[in-house]
Amino acid sequence: MPDPIDTYRQLRLERCRRALVKNKFEVFMASDVQDAGTLFRERILAPLEVNVASWGDSMTLQATGVLDTIRVDPGIRMIETFDTTISQEERLERRRQALLSDLFLSGSNAVTETGLLVNLDMVGNRVAGITFGPKTVVLFIGRNKIVPTLDDAMARVRNIAAPANAIRHPGLKTPCTKTALCTDCSSPDRICNTWCITEKSFPAGRIKIILINQDLGL
């Protein structure tokens, strides 16, 4: 007898995939994080002409190992926007440059079963790259990010992803790092500044999504 939990997860992933495809995203399915990395290298990266690449913060993306693949490729210049050896001003400038890259990689805070991407940013470079600029965007999304509706997605981002991300950066001093609850704070370190709801990919297929049948990231 098939595992009912596995069947349940597969059905949800497939429902989400169909909705995303209907919304003009190009969607791939991966069984786990290793499969996602292989799929990216062989089916997405290989056919692309990429001279410059960059990325937006994502634990799921980092777990796939694809960043290291790009870093060692002599034909691709990686714009490193999280380099701690440079000043904050230089990091911001690199994030501006990243918006003109051929390839931009990241994750998503939430995705609905109706095919919407929902993200919330501190600086805004990640949602900016998803929305406009880079020629191709690839997002790696674990099954735990899938929720039924837009309201559920925003609740997930505000009450799970945002507090957990603030806690992940120990230098941030926001109320949610102590309470794990969003209080719509006015802290100088607030990471919840720019919402982005992506209903459809334009042009069609510009945003490519790898749905991963594994709980990943925040």
Decide: helix, strand or coil at residue 52.
strand
Q: Which long-range contacts (CB under 8 A, 24 or more apart) does 89-93 make?
A: 92/123
Which residue(s) pair with 78 in the sheet? 53
Q: What is the pLDDT of residues 129-169, one digit of tens each?
A: 999 999 999 999 999 999 999 999 999 999 999 999 999 99
CA dihedral sign, ordered 174, 179, 183, 184: positive
Alpha-carbon gap, residue 140 to 35, rounded angstroms: 11
Give the contacts of 72 (CB within 8 A, at least 6 positions apart): none
Residue-range domains of the chain with CATH = 4-212 (3.40.50.10420)
Q: What is the pLDDT of residues 119-131, one digit of tens each?
A: 999 999 999 999 9
**Percent of residues, the chain, with pLDDT higher than 90:** 98
pLDDT at 2: 77
Tokens (6 digits) for 165? 């991300």
